[in-house]
Amino acid sequence: MTTEAKVAPPNPTPIVLSGIRPTGEIHLGNYFGAIRHFIDLQETDNDCLFFVADLHALTTAMEDKIDLDAASIDVLRWYLACGVDPSKALIYRQSDILEIPFFNLLLSMIAPEGEVRRCTTFKEKSADMETKNKMVTVGLFAYPVLMAADILFCNADIVPVGEDQLQHLEIAREIARRYNHYFGDNHLIVEPQPLKTAAIRVPGLVGEGKMSKSTGGPGNVIYLSDTPKQIRKKVMAAVTDTGPVVGEPMSQPMVNLYELLKLVAPSEVYEEYLARHATGEQKFYGYLKQAIAEHMTALIEPIQARYHSAECSAERVQEILDASSAKVRKIAQKNLAGMLKDMKFEHLAKQLAP
């Protein structure tokens, strides 16, 4: 770009936005990469918007046969159970915001095809679907553009997501820059930033990959709905090595287990087990795994208790959604009107903001 770049100033009160797809049960990867930060961020001086990305789930939902309505309500019940507070954050469902698909369409006109095609998630997901004879759709390919619409419609400043979503976020930033450059006369779009502390990769229990609903099978993931017995069984089955060797680097399976311990246990417990490894102690991995399972259970049990309470019922979620969608749509309409005006669709802009 040759002329001076047009840049939107950050919002006076930072806008924080993030979402989760309703494609399976919420797990510890979602908790530590996302939800935990939602709770921290709603406590400080931010305008928070947290949603369930049901349109994104549609990229694979027909093939996976997901009941999107039920699965979306369930994700939001877990939000509430973890402590996301409707009096401090707007909690909504992506598909209730009818303006988002319009943003998606407009932004797709300036989305860089090459970068979208290079997305690791698309390459992995489409390869996996092809081997299973499942249909790869345009919607799946254009996933990052819809994600950009989710983020840019409200001019979000901060997007707390795990490491796996950073590439998508970079595309949203690129789209924002392009919009500002080509069209941003009156309405400018803020370039959203990741939250550095959130952008982690929570390891799975099987193999070397991340904790994920779609890879490694059920033994790879600790769900927030798991019983203490299930947690114990999965953790005790995790791969280790034959024992530490002083002076040698830690093997990958052990690095993964220590990362999990660090996330769930107090720092002194983590340090104690780290020292046992560093001094070459043998035959303590069983205790290490027990400690991981116990601390996971201690974290999850109160969340489960809240999940089953009336404050987190499906009815309560519906009430929250009924109240939030109009508020979020108002934000969307204001920004959409600004964009449409700049893009020379004045007739539409006037309808939205007469």
21, with CB counted inside 10 A (0-12, 13-18, 19+), is buried
Angle, vertex CA 126, rays to CA 125 and CA 128, nearest 5: 65
Instruction: Indicate the residue type of 15.
Output: I
CB of 54 to ligand TYM, least distance (A): 10
6 Rama sector, left if φ>0, alpha if ψ -120 to 50, beta otherwise: beta
User: Which of 17/317 has CB closer to ligand TYM?
Assistant: 17
CB of residue 199 to ligand TYM, shortest distance in Å: 8
We find the least distance from the C-beta atom of residue 317 to ligand TYM, in angstroms, to be 17
Q: What residues make contact with ligand TYM under the rule CB under 6 A?
A: 17-21, 29-30, 33-34, 53, 56, 147, 150-151, 159, 161-162, 164-165, 168, 200-202, 210-212
Decide: 57 and 68 in contact? Cβ < 8 Å. Answer: yes
3-state secondary structure string across 100-121? HHHHHHHHHCCCCHHHHHCCHH
For the CB of residue 316, give the shortest distance to ligand TYM in the complex, in Å.
22
Identity of the residue, 214 or 281, whose beta carbon is nearer to ligand TYM in the bound complex = 214
**Closest CB 106 distance from ligand TYM, rounded Å:** 17
Nearer to ligand TYM among residue 184 and residue 203 (C-beta): 203
Nearer to ligand TYM, 91 or 349 (CB): 91
DSSP secondary structure letter of residue 200: -
Q: 137 Cβ partners below 8 Å, 6+ apart?
A: 59
User: Of 29 and 338, which CB lies nearer to ligand TYM in the complex structure?
Assistant: 29
Per residue, the 3-state secondary structure of 252-275, as one string, reads: HHHHHHHHHHHHHCCHHHHHHHHH
List, in sequence order, every residue forming a beta bridge with 194; answer none if it has no partner: 159
Q: How far is the CB of 154 from ligand TYM (least distance, A)?
A: 11
* CB nearer to ligand TYM: pick between 53 and 340: 53
